[in-house]
Amino acid sequence: MVTIAMVTGFILILMGLYGALTNPNILRMIVSFSIANTGVNIVLVAIGYIQGRTAPILDEAVPVAEAAARIIDPTPQALVLTAIVIGLGVTTLMLTYAYKLYEMKGTLNIAKFSELKW
Amino acid sequence: MIKRALVLLFLFALGTLFVELLLTYTPDTQLNQTGRYYAEHSAQDLGTVNITTAIIVTYRGLDTLGEVTVLFLTAAIVGVLLSRGDHKGKSLQRKLPQSGELLTTGSYLLVPLILLLGAYVFINGHLTPGGGFQGGAIIASAILLMLLTDPLRHFSHSIIAAVESISGLFFIGLGVLGIFYAGGFLDNRLLPLGELGSLFSAGVIPIIYSFIGLKVGAEFSSMLVNLSETEDT
């Protein structure tokens, strides 16, 4: 279970990085970064999972007294919630800059932006 | 060609690293010390049923404040970068095909329901999976649906800004009140903890999370509105 989630996450990270490094189109690079970001989040959540336990919410199935023995680690979940929100902010900023770049050059091909190239 | 080979080489190295990590990874069978503390104390000390919410709003509340600030900065930068001197008159000139009957009628039915679901998710953040960030995103999705139905619709920037600033002020204000009347900044024991598992419990957590929900919803909406009001030149 953990292995499947972690393998999926690692594959998504590699796929996203491959797309970001080989695509010449800026929009496709942004999509690739989002995919890699999702992969990182999946790996982080998978690390908090403990075999045979349930979500960190107390109810009839998880009484307060037994909480420590019945729930999975809540810390990575809180961390990933933060990471998702920040990831969304980063994606929005990338899209905005992509729009400004398009406005400037009329193209989204990264090869045409040669000002910082050496 | 060389570039692609280099990329593949880099990804192969990274992949080897990941395989190594995966093979040597042994899953925990017990909670670690931090997780155990949260599991044992959040119900008694803070009165929350959802432990993740207890971590986000109270134990690590300062980090959440930072996170909301980052989101606010993002929304502000998007607004500054995309702002035009006179885009009010310009954005009305676009000629667009009619959006379909299904989309228009469907949005009349769905927008109020989506807003209701968003409010439900952030008000019940201390009881059910969910909370301010998720509820805010749901509310922004209602705005997105309205924008899809009518891309020329004008949303009042001042209302969005007012909702955002007021909820931000209340969030910080409740945190500061915690210094004087409870254990510290963003302490939730400002109000009585109430009965574990009921709607009015966990002190100020539902109130703070509702303000976070409104703030996040307003920030996402302002990003969407700003992005949709840009013009092709």
pLDDT (tens digit per residue) in B41-86: 877 777 788 888 888 888 888 888 888 889 888 988 888 888 765 5
Give the CATH number for residue A80: 1.10.287.3510
Locate B183 and state its tokens: 């254990």
Looking at chain B from residue 169 to 188, which residues have their Cβ under 8 Å from any Cβ of chain A? none
Residue-number span of the structural domain to which A104 is assigned: 2-51+67-112
| Mean pLDDT computed over every residue of chain B | 83
Beta carbons of B60 and A49 less than 8 Å apart: no
Domain boundaries, chain B: 2-85+99-228
> What pLDDT is recorded for position B231?
65
Q: Which residue in B18, B20, B133, B228 has the most chain A C-beta atoms within 10 A of its own C-beta, making it the best mutation to test that interface?
A: B18
Beta carbons of A100 and B74 less than 8 Å apart: no
Q: Is A118 a domain residue? A: no
Please name the member of B10, B38, B67 whose beta carbon is closest to the beta carbon of A75: B38
> What pLDDT is recorded for position B82?
82
> What pLDDT is recorded for position A9?
92
> What pLDDT is recorded for position A35?
94
Please name the member of B10, B27, B43 whose beta carbon is closest to the beta carbon of A50: B27
Q: Is the pLDDT of residue A34 over 90?
A: yes
A106 confidence band (pLDDT: 50, 70, 90): confident
Dihedral of alpha carbons B47, B53, B59, B64, sign? negative
Locate B101 and state its tokens: 């009957």
Q: How far apart are CA A72 and CA A58, in angstroms?
A: 12
A55 confidence band (pLDDT: 50, 70, 90): confident
> What pLDDT is recorded for position B12?
92
Mean pLDDT value across residues B127-134? 84
Mean pLDDT value across residues B114-126? 88
Q: Is the pLDDT of residue B112 over 60?
A: yes
Among A85-99, B92-106, B188-202, the range with the most confident prediction by mean pLDDT is A85-99
Q: Is A23 a domain residue? A: yes
Q: Is A90 a domain residue? A: yes
The answer, for B2 touching chain A at a CB cutoff of 8 Å, is no
pTM for this predicted structure: 0.82
Q: How far apart are CA B94 and CA B110, in angstroms?
A: 26
Beta carbons of B55 and A71 less than 8 Å apart: no
Looking at chain B from residue 54 to 83, which residues have their Cβ under 8 Å from any Cβ of chain A? 55-56, 60, 63-64, 67, 70-71, 73-74, 77-78, 81-82
A15 confidence band (pLDDT: 50, 70, 90): very high
How much of chain B exceeds pLDDT 90, in percent? 8
Q: Where are the alpha helices (DSSP H) in chain B?
A: 2-24, 33-41, 51-54, 61-82, 87-90, 101-123, 132-149, 157-181, 205-228
Q: Is A34 a domain residue? A: yes
Q: Is the pLDDT of residue A75 over 80?
A: yes
**B144-149, Cβ contacts within 8 angstroms, sequence gap of 24 or more:** B144/B224, B145/B107, B145/B110, B145/B111, B145/B114, B146/B107, B146/B111, B147/B224, B147/B225, B147/B228, B148/B99, B148/B103, B148/B107, B149/B99, B149/B103, B149/B104, B149/B107
Q: Is A84 a domain residue? A: yes
> What pLDDT is recorded for position A38?
93
Q: Is the pLDDT of residue A4 over 60?
A: yes
Nearest CA in chain A to B36: A68
Q: How far apart are CA B85 and CA A18, in angstroms?
A: 40
Beta carbons of A74 and B39 less than 8 Å apart: yes
Locate B169 and state its tokens: 């002020």
Q: Is the pLDDT of residue A2 over 70?
A: yes
> What pLDDT is recorded for position A1?
76
Q: Is A19 a domain residue? A: yes
Chain B environment of A48 (Cβ under 8 Å): 35
Beta carbons of A78 and B56 less than 8 Å apart: yes
Beta carbons of B204 and B212 less than 8 angstroms apart? no
Tracing tokens 């393998």 back to the chain, one arrives at A7
> What pLDDT is recorded for position A3?
86
Beta carbons of B213 and B139 less than 8 angstroms apart? yes
How many folded domains does chain A comprise?
1
